[in-house]
Amino acid sequence: MLLGVIADDFTGASDIANTIAKGIAPEGGLRTAQFLGVPGDPAPAGIEAGVISLKTRSIAPAEAVRQSLLALEWLLKQGCQQIVFKYCSTFDSTREGNIGPVAEALAERLGVKGVVVCPAFPGAGRTIYMGHLFVQDQLLSESGMQNHPLTPMSDPDIRRWLGYQTNGAVGAIKHSVVGQGERAIRAALDAATDGLVVVDAISDEDLIAIGTAAAGDRLLTGGSGIAIGLPRNFIRRGLASGAAAQAVGLAGPEAILAGSCSGATRGQIDSHKAEHPTLEIDVDRVMAGETTAETIVAFMLRNRGRAPLAYSSSTPDGVRQSQAQYGREAVADKLDRLFADTAKRLVAEGVTRLVVAGGETSGAVVSALDLGALSIGQEIDPGVPVLVSQGDRPVALALKSGNFGAPDFFTKALQRMTAHGQ
């Protein structure tokens, strides 16, 4: 294995796995597998890039560090020459962490400094300029992310936000340097005295230049965009031959579960409602034990073949009211358990195509299913590929971060997940 990735959630893991598997034309990408948690066994033969999916974004910082270091040790044992710590392109974190503590711990273990911090993903509208993170034409703190129920992002200055989370100083490489290309970026990284360095990027070309400049670095951190140019580095050195993402998928019964409160997901739900059966999951009924996994599974089975959707995706005001009444952790835990139990029962009932929206929801679902290594298929929308598990009873998955995907994402995902990936 050449390239190893530690991702702090499951949707983000499939996002960067998709980026690495695609690579850049004409070279192509690397043979990539996604692992659900730290594997207990060595990687399958022939895998050039391994992405370990953790669920560490909103847990205690010390535990996030512990799990990430375990993932690092496994990847190093597989022979990885370069490690990427992947987090969300909206830098989802609190003032306490977990991005800063994990990045510092990985850097310390690898004995490196001048580590790139770049959550930019221009293809999805995330850019960094003068150290500030934008979503489309809005500052992060005005994009809706300030209302995130678990990791509200109230400050777009990534250097300052990261400074709250870390022990050392945080450096910066501005776009005036990045725009000069890889040699200027390399010189700036070599001159860095800080452990972590926030690097501007407003285009894919910037990210490719950053990736090329960092070809020999042991550690990079960022969103999935930071990996755009990394496969080419290994291919040009003759360590990999290049490969295109395969068309993998499955036929069979389908279900859609949405637990994201993002504006994009709510719009996708509204679009899907117009032509498909939907079930709204009311938080009050869930907390009272009136809506259960059996309720949702029965709805899905009654509507098999019609792309049924069950969702718990309230407005920011609705989320705040529920959290005030029941407690933030209690609501999140109850919904995670509900979606996890529902997914297990659906698969047991023969569902083979499962679309899941929301990072926390996706993490709960795939942890419950315990599917092992996942093959990376074709891209559905930017950042979201088809995933297929191995074994006697394979399952096709689409794990969507809340803010990702076009309005018709749900129906498009189910179509791409069919037997030939069409």
Give me the chain's average pLDDT, please.
92
Helix, strand, coil percent content, the chain, rounded in steps of 5: 40, 20, 40
How many angstroms separate the CA atoms of 5 and 85, rounded? 6
How many angstroms separate the CA atoms of 164 and 224, rounded? 23
How many other CB atoms are found less than 10 A from the CB of residue 305?
7
Q: Which residue is it, tokens 């050039």?
A: 48
Q: Where are the beta strands (DSSP E) in 223-370?
A: 254-258, 278-280, 309-311, 353-357
Based on the number of CB atoms within 10 Å of its own CB, is 289 exposed (0-12), middle (13-18) or buried (19 or more)? exposed
Based on the number of CB atoms within 10 Å of its own CB, is 354 exposed (0-12), middle (13-18) or buried (19 or more)? buried
Say whether pTM exceeds 0.75.
Answer: yes
pLDDT in tens, 283-342: 999 999 999 999 999 999 999 999 999 999 877 678 778 888 888 788 889 999 999 999
How many angstroms separate the CA atoms of 31 and 211, rounded? 18
Q: Annotate 97-108 with DSSP letters as a single string.
A: BSHHHHHHHHHH
In the 8-state DSSP scheme, what is residue 246? P
Q: Which residue is it, tokens 């993170």?
A: 133
Q: Which residues contact 115 (CB under 8 A, 6 or more apart)?
A: 103, 107, 195, 196, 197, 217, 219, 220, 221
Domains annotated for the chain, with CATH where assigned, are 3-236 (3.40.50.10840), 254-416 (3.40.980.20)
Give 381's strand partners.
384
Are 224 and 88 in contact by the 8 Å Cβ rule? The answer is no
How many other CB atoms are found less than 10 A from the CB of residue 299?
17
Tens of pLDDT, residue by residue, the chain (422 residues): 999 999 999 888 999 999 999 999 889 999 999 998 999 999 988 899 999 999 899 899 999 999 999 999 999 999 999 999 999 999 999 999 999 999 999 999 999 999 999 999 998 899 999 999 999 999 999 888 887 777 888 899 999 999 999 999 999 999 999 999 999 999 999 999 999 999 999 999 999 999 999 999 999 999 999 999 999 999 999 999 887 666 677 889 999 999 988 888 999 999 999 999 999 999 999 999 999 999 999 999 999 999 999 999 877 678 778 888 888 788 889 999 999 999 999 999 999 999 999 888 888 898 899 888 898 888 899 888 999 988 788 999 999 988 889 999 999 999 999 855 44
Per-residue pLDDT, 421? 46
Q: Which residues contact 113 (CB under 8 A, 6 or more apart)?
A: 107, 192, 193, 194, 195
How many angstroms separate the CA atoms of 261 and 357, rounded? 9
| φ, ψ for residue 293, nearest 5 deg | -60, -35
